[in-house]
Chain A
Amino acid sequence: MSNFQRPGLKKIETFLYRESGYLDNMQLRQWIDMFTASGDYWMPVSVDQQDPINHISIFYDDRDLMEIRLRHLDNPRSHSKDFSIRSSHVLANICIDEFNEVNGDCTVSCNFQCIMYSRDQQEIFAGRCNYQLVMQDGHYMIQRKRVDLINCDAPHGSIQSYV
């Protein structure tokens, strides 16, 4: 018996635009609140990396670390964040990869290009994002956002905020 209807692409697109918009506007409080209590943000360091626990990653933040990161950003003595951090995401090739009609959960993915700017320097991040979305009280929440950079295994300078 199907309890849920497959979401339209437009609905997913709107959700993803809101999510990346919070990052671009540095509204990290609102951004964190899009995650479930056990949700996480994962940026692997290897191509096709299977495991965030037994393999190193660039980011693998649970809600605890997201909250600590937010406080670090807001702290006047976080000197690496003295300069305003701005980003611009462009999302494309959005797909709904899986849909569970029993509970409404779905997995979606998209290509992204993100320009991040801080202290006179612009950096380009590009790759594919994968979102595990779960339906809670009629709304989608993020269980996992996975960001696969095309240059995940290259040497990186400090990555000042979420991509």
Chain B
Amino acid sequence: MSYTVDDIEKMVEPARVHRKVYTDEEIFALEMQRVWGRTWIFAGHASEVAKPGDYKTFNIGQQAMIMVRDRDSNSIGVFYNRCSHKGAKLVGDGSGCAKAFRCPYHAWTFKTDGTLLATPPTKTKASTGFEPGDPAYNLVAAAQVDNYRGFVFVNLDANAPAMQPFFGDSLSSIDNMVDRSPESELEIAGGVLRYRHDCNWKSFVENLNDNMHPMATHQAAIEACQGYANDLPEGSPVPETVSILGPFGSSYDFFDEMSHVVFPNGHSYSGNSVSIHSAYPPVPDYVAAMESAHGEDKTRDIFSCARHNTLYYPSLTIKGAIQSIRVIRPISVNCTDIETYTFRLKGAPDEMLQRTLLYSRLINSPSSIVGSDDLEVYQRVQAGLQGMGNDWVSLERQQGNDVEHEDGSTTGMGSSELPFRNQYKYWLQWMTDTQPLKIKA
């Protein structure tokens, strides 16, 4: 069947969504056009393409893309990864440094700014059939590319609003993560984890600000960790593993206090001054480096902000206090890759990156006792929602207690399902907008 605007409107109520939103292949295909095609999608971090000619490939749904730092202008561009001749994917998946991009099929070669450079053996109209220099034969650039403090985002629709207004005040979480570097600069370091999730991308995205699941989903991990810590001989130092896993076992009251802040276009964070990341033991050399760079007052301000996940809907979630990010790469209606990247805070001691990596390995690795229990429930959601007995998913918790503010944000208690309601409000706006994407700027 083919969904009309009316059909889609019937799938999303203010606090309930229809199960097909997670399970229907046609909805997924529409989402890739209408949501992922016109929102700002995370391409990568500028430090991944630090030198002229550096590139990496990534996907926005089915759209294969290349992010590249141009050799001449030194600016970062994003192009569709498709040769303008017969359509072959120009660059194999991965990253590297290129003088130019040469298609493996007929050796058409493109400069790192996307310009067609060569069409062997000769670049004449007689041999190719088009005027040399005709821009229609250059690589097609993504409609919009922008960079916020090193975070490169791309938008496939030239009609979409600019990046900064799209993200609004949620960008303060990126500010806080960058400010945690004594040199106010981040660098991706320590490799990438890729974790395949057999579930719809939205199950993962919603869970990021689901403060009511740890005590159930992670009960076993919490008990395992607490039980082990309790059985250690008295006076034993607390293993770092325990100090990271332990806070997942915080009480309902604690998580309720980790209130939600949501923004227009689906973005949100939970936990501001209080979160499961606020009580890590300080690293003295790091605190000293920060105080010498920023002064004591500003350093205290920076550290007092210990937000949990901040979601840049729909493709990126960051943990500023941990310096790790996860990138959501939907593959199909029931398959999503989650990529975890970690950052070095420039000017900070190595211990900081080491803690980031420890956290990431404990929580975000395919081997994680936390991540595997999360994925288990997403898989069960995917299976359960096939059931015809009940078409509706409830997002109603604390619905009456949301507070709207003049600055456009809305706040709710930590136990609220406000972030999900907010996501679907905008999801519905995009999904019912039938205007085609404007592909070229």
Contacts and interface: CB of A to CB of B under 8 A. Distances in A.
Contacts of A156: 194-196, 366
Interface in B164-219: 189-198, 217, 219
B382 to A, nearest CB: 13
B366 A158 contact: yes
Contacts of A72: 220-221, 224, 369
A103 interface: no
B366 A159 contact: yes
Contacts of A71: 223-225, 227-228
A142 interface: no
A157 B197 CA distance: 6
B239 interface: yes
B113 interface: no
B194 to A, nearest CB: 4
Given A53-B354, A156-B196, A78 B367 contact: no
A138 interface: no
B367 A43 contact: yes
Interface string A139-163: 0000000000000011111111000
B118 interface: no
Interface of B (DSSP majority class): helix
A60 B342 CA distance: 16
Contacts, number: 119
Interface in A70-89: 70-72, 75-82
Contacts of A77: 219-220, 223
A162 to B, nearest CB: 9
Contact of A55 (B191, B220, B362): B191
Contacts of B239: 62, 64
Contacts of A82: 376
B360 interface: yes
Interface string B354-373: 10010011100111010111
B173 to A, nearest CB: 22
A45 B193 contact: yes
Contacts of A128: none
B354 A54 contact: yes
A56 B365 CA distance: 9
Interface of B: 189-198, 217, 219-221, 223-225, 227-228, 239, 241-242, 245, 337, 340, 342, 350, 353-354, 357, 360-362, 365-367, 369, 371-373, 375-377, 380
Given A55-B357, A58-B367, A157-B375, 16 more contacts: A54-B190, A54-B350, A54-B354, A56-B193, A59-B361, A59-B367, A64-B242, A71-B223, A72-B224, A75-B219, A79-B217, A80-B373, A156-B366, A158-B195, A158-B371, A158-B375
